[in-house]
Structure 1
Amino acid sequence: MPSSATPAKHPALQSLQGLRILSLALNLPGPAALMRCRQVGATCIKLEPPAGDPMGLYNKPAYAQLHEGVKVLTADLKTEAGQKVLHRELEKTDVLLTSFRPSAIDKLGLGWKKIHSLYPALSHVAIVGAPGTLGEEPGHDLTYMAHNDLVTGLNLPPTLYADMSGSLMASEAVLQAALRRQEPYAGSGDPHPRGAFIEVALSEAAAYLALPRQWGLTQPSGSVGGAHAGYRIYPCQDGRVAVAALEPHFAAALCAAAGVEAADIRAMFAPATHEAIAAFMRTQTRAQLDQLAAAKDIPLHTLLN
């Protein structure tokens, strides 16, 4: 694929139209989940402490994009005045989104038993570091990734995988809560919506991302871990090329272009095939490889560095 290609954008379905979300979540996973929910129609309000969201200090452009279309209010939830603002908003809220440790939730008077008694229709999506009592232990994206064997060498991962996948799980939980609101309270005959408590653990988000590695797919001996000659990153004359010719017809097209004989899929795992394709790539520029990809229908993407 040419490096200039960009994915087409399509208008999102407004699946959460009419749903009101109140977020107390700071930093990245909560605001990213709120951004996703807003993009599909939810009305999003956020209460920030007087000091603001730390993301506004780390990276102002990120903060701006995460909070586009979000109504941001300020309240110190540790004070009586802040609690009044909180409960004024909760009275109008369908889903509460938080990212505190469980003990902090209790200190703020937001324990599920209490909040459910006050607002039976309210759902609470709680983003935590780890499930259950482990939620009190300190952790971050990097530690959850490391625990699941997703950090190699001394380089940091190129993005915050646990945080971002956790945000998707949180937005999925909001959707579950929205669906629950459409159903009568099971077995009671009560037609009014009932809220649910849904916990989303970033450690479990990292574990979900790690499944292909646990299965062996992305281990060095796996098909997408480097053992298959058609699924690798190779140096070329003026940069690198990421090749994803995994399926037999793509692998055959790659081998034909490189002048490599490969009788069947097993040949793609042979050292000689790796060496031959690597040698071919070293003779090609990024422009030549982009042209080759378009002409021969080979999935690859060239990289400058």
Structure 2
Amino acid sequence: MTNESNGAGTAGAPRKGALSRFTIIDATRVRAGPTAMRLFADMGARVIKVEIPPGAPGGDDMIGGRDHNRADYENLHRNKESLTLNMKDPAGREILHELIRRADVFIENYRPDVKHRLGIGPDALRAINPRLVYASISGFGQDGPYANWPGFDSIAQGMGGLMSVTGKPGEGPMRVGIPIADLCAGHFCAMAILTALLEREASGEGQWVQTSLLEAQLAMLDFQAAQWLVDRKVPEQVGNEHPLTVPTGVFATQDGYLNLAAIGQTMWTRLCDALGLEDLARAPGYDSDPARVANRDAVNQAVSEVFKTRTTKEWTEILLKAGVPCGPIYGIDEVFDDPQVRHLGITWPVDLPGKTGAALLGQPFRLSRYPREAAPRLAPEQGEDTQAILQELGYSDEQIEQWRKAFVV
């Protein structure tokens, strides 16, 4: 184990990937932190997942556990190693310190006060290794009036404004169908860690990087936030439509639904030509984006009637040929059969017992000099790598067995 560049795994086999020179100690759970670490593990970094030993007080029963949902556990924790370690025990903290001396990154997502009570806060660990990048994900920030509130995705979606602009008008706030605050917090944390590692090349020192579910959700508001912060306009729910351009959104066809994005006058004119509504393109009340927004219902009604006359596939071919952005709307069971999705190769075949044809989602980017491995390492069983990691640190089998009996590891 090293924070130089040999990238050795616990069994001594060389690690591959663009980030193989980095070692990360992962003390996160649930989703945001594991999402951040998934990127590093997939890119070849050595990610050692620290878990509470079986039988030790304070075991983890949070969602995403191995027994609770094996599919999601594999999704979040492939390519990682698992070390059981009780950081509340002084002996456990000593083991952690040995890991920290050799690590590049330590990441946690406890409530802000917990790490300091355990004696594993950024000052304590960076005193052991000044080059360490210490990363924290919280619900609402490391300080402030809500710092110790428990952080959950749906709460962040509500407090971050997303639910107020999601859903149809008049139907009340609506949660997005994926854990977007968790996921974005994880991705932003990964970006922050990479930024700190790049900065370390110049300064020689690590630093403490932070993000939160609330900040991540606020960042994702994007132009809706700008509407308020700049123009003092409160964005409203518009369902599947776009608040600033018409017609966009979902339209029923002869056999299903079509997603349409006819943004701007040029696209509107092309759409009208394709639908046989040429006279409508420049008619008063239809001849500009602001005019169409003001007459949203009439515009949508006019195009809706025509869309019902053909199938989704037929309209997709007609509109794309006309240069109008559109596409089908898939169920999850249809997404991965799409020829373009298959061509992109974003799924990662895995051999899971009893799961014929199982696959995991890969990373949504590729590097030309680091092709993806043929198959990921499956998510480790709890403590699967404990013995090897502790031996690597120089501890004897006898000492390790004593720690097991005491629930230290």
The reply to whether residue 213 of structure 1 matches residue 224 of structure 2 is yes
The reply to whether residue 33 of structure 1 matches residue 23 of structure 2 is no
The reply to whether residue 265 of structure 1 matches residue 284 of structure 2 is no
Amino acid at match of 2:41: R
CA distance in 2, matches of 1:221, 1:158: 16
CA distance in 2, matches of 1:155, 1:223: 12
Pick from 150, 165, 172 the counterpart of residue 184 of structure 2. 165
Provide the residue aligned with 2:52 in structure 1.
49
Provide the TM-score with structure 2 as the length reference: 0.64
Determine if contact 2:19/2:45 at 8 Å carries over to the other structure: yes
1:22 is paired with a residue of what secondary structure?
A: strand
Determine if contact 1:233/1:242 at 8 Å carries over to the other structure: yes
Change in CA separation of 1:284 and 1:199 when aligned onto 2, cut-off 3 Å: same
CA distance in 2, matches of 1:85, 1:228: 58
The reply to whether residue 275 of structure 1 matches residue 333 of structure 2 is no
Using CA pairs below 8 Å that are at least 6 residues apart, which structure has the higher relative contact order?
2
Amino acid at match of 2:83: L
Q: Deviations over 1:29-60 (max 9, x none)?
A: 00100011223332211111134573124421
2:97 is paired with a residue of what secondary structure?
A: helix
Any unmatched runs of 5+ in structure 1?
A: 1-12, 185-192
Pick from 162, 167, 178 the counterpart of residue 197 of structure 2. 178
The reply to whether residue 243 of structure 1 matches residue 266 of structure 2 is no
Correspondences of 1:53-92 after superposition (within 5 Å): 54=62, 55-56=64-65, 57-92=67-102
Aligned-pair CA distance for 1:239: 2.1
Aligned-pair CA distance for 1:81: 3.5
Amino acid at match of 1:69: N
CA distance in 1, matches of 2:156, 2:128: 35
CA distance in 1, matches of 2:38, 2:185: 13
Change in CA separation of 1:283 and 1:58 when aligned onto 2, cut-off 3 Å: farther
Change in CA separation of 1:172 and 1:20 when aligned onto 2, cut-off 3 Å: same
Aligned-pair CA distance for 1:209: 1.1
2:162 is paired with a residue of what secondary structure?
A: coil
Pick from 131, 134, 139 the counterpart of residue 121 of structure 1. 131
Aligned-pair CA distance for 1:154: 5.8
Aligned-pair CA distance for 1:135: 2.2
Q: Deviations over 1:223-249 (max 9, x none)?
A: 963452232222222222211121443
Determine if contact 1:23/1:44 at 8 Å carries over to the other structure: yes
Provide the residue aligned with 2:329 in structure 1.
303
Determine if contact 1:46/1:71 at 8 Å carries over to the other structure: yes
2:41 is paired with a residue of what secondary structure?
A: helix
Provide the residue aligned with 1:204 in structure 2.
215
Amino acid at match of 1:212: F
CA distance in 2, matches of 1:220, 1:66: 32
Provide the TM-score with structure 1 as the length reference: 0.84
Determine if contact 1:161/1:206 at 8 Å carries over to the other structure: yes
The reply to whether residue 142 of structure 1 matches residue 151 of structure 2 is no
Aligned-pair CA distance for 1:294: 3.7
Provide the residue aligned with 1:7 in structure 2.
none
Change in CA separation of 1:47 and 1:224 when aligned onto 2, cut-off 3 Å: same
Aligned-pair CA distance for 1:205: 0.4
Aligned-pair CA distance for 1:156: 3.4
CA distance in 2, matches of 1:110, 1:247: 54
- Greater shift in the superposed pair: 259-268 or 24-33: 259-268
CA distance in 2, matches of 1:226, 1:262: 20
Aligned-pair CA distance for 1:90: 1.1
Flag the structure with larger Rg.
2
CA distance in 2, matches of 1:222, 1:62: 29
Aligned-pair CA distance for 1:221: 7.6
Aligned-pair CA distance for 1:202: 1.0
Aligned-pair CA distance for 1:123: 1.2
Number of aligned residue pairs: give it. 285
Determine if contact 1:26/1:53 at 8 Å carries over to the other structure: no
Determine if contact 1:77/1:83 at 8 Å carries over to the other structure: yes
Kindly report the root-mean-square deviation, in angstroms, between the aligned alpha carbons of the 2 structures: 2.6
CA distance in 1, matches of 2:107, 2:211: 10
Determine if contact 2:267/2:324 at 8 Å carries over to the other structure: yes
Change in CA separation of 1:24 and 1:220 when aligned onto 2, cut-off 3 Å: closer
Q: Deviations over 1:268-298 (max 9, x none)?
A: 4334322211211222322222322443232
Determine if contact 2:245/2:264 at 8 Å carries over to the other structure: no
Any unmatched runs of 5+ in structure 2?
A: 1-15, 54-58, 167-171, 229-234, 332-409
Provide the residue aligned with 2:271 in structure 1.
254
Q: Deviations over 1:62-94 (max 9, x none)?
A: 111221111111112222342233222212111
